[in-house]
Amino acid sequence: MSKLSGMEMFVRVVECGSFTAAAVASGVSPTMVGKQIREIEQRLGARLLHRTTRRQQLTEVGQLYFDRCRRVLSEVELAESSAMELQAAPKGLVRMIAPVSFGCQCLVPELSAYMALHPEVDVMLNLDNRVPSLNNDNYELGIQIGEVREPGVVARPLRPYRRILAASPDYIRQHGMPEHPEQLGNYSCLGLSYWLHQDRWDLTGPEGETFKAFIGGRFMSNQGNALRIAALSGCGIVLQPDYVLMDDIAEGRLVPVLPQWSYKPTPLYLIYHQDSRPSAKLRSVIDFLIARLGENSQALSQ
């Protein structure tokens, strides 16, 4: 008799309440059950059960052994089910929430690549700029900008959220190129309407120095893509994530403004519930996104 099978039999005896009931549940004779329990007691050098003709009761040692046996058997079950899960093909629906600009520009292409590799996984992505709450909403995964404070949530760091400045070539030809952030007050700057400090941009320079650039402008919006289109139309200087502007800059539709300066980097996280047994679909999409968008993955721009 192995120690593990002995533990299973001992737990079954306690839970069933008698040798006879445990024997029926196990498909063996009561004599065989009794023999296994005696072997355990002899090996431990202690009595585990007080047995009478009417009932049985755990000794102090028996109670301790019972509690530990249940814990060990639970871990064994978890190990086996996890190993089986690892071999299972990811399938099912993944519900996810992400900020609008990041979701459109970065996440959708990566999720499309993921689904090409895992044809049995479907994705439902909700784009919303509010701070996600996995505990209150029906989402398994989320992308959050800024520090995560929700309890019971795992936060895996992605590449930091970096904003850069750009404007159309026509706008720069008409108004000139600023040489320092202190000059931005003389330009039309396109701002996010929901920012607390709409009149300033806190910029970081090439040596790590910071500067509060006080700005003004005639156009604001709550959507970054609207500000990008305004910049393309020659309305002014835009401050948006590098991944939003990089294609326009590469194609010459926009030109970098003060390229050595950027808005202070903001943390970005992939968040999900703590779970000792994540499903194959969830584990696979987490691993994929961390590999493609994580801190150590190749940056979208430098």
**Residue pLDDT, tens place only, 121-133:** 999 999 988 888 8
**In sequence order, which residues have a C-beta less than 8 Å from that of residue 77 and are 6 or more positions away?**
none
Crossing angle between the packed helical segments 280-293 and 108-117, to the nearest 10 degrees: 130
Structure tokens at 170: 């026509």
Predicted local confidence at residue 302, as pLDDT: 33
Residue ranges, the chain, pLDDT below 50: 299-302
**In sequence order, which residues have a C-beta less than 8 Å from that of residue 57 and are 6 or more positions away?**
49, 50
Predicted local confidence at residue 196, as pLDDT: 59
Overall size of the chain counted in residues: 302
- Over residues 70-91, the pLDDT tens digits come to 999 988 888 877 776 655 788 8
- State pTM to two decimals: 0.62
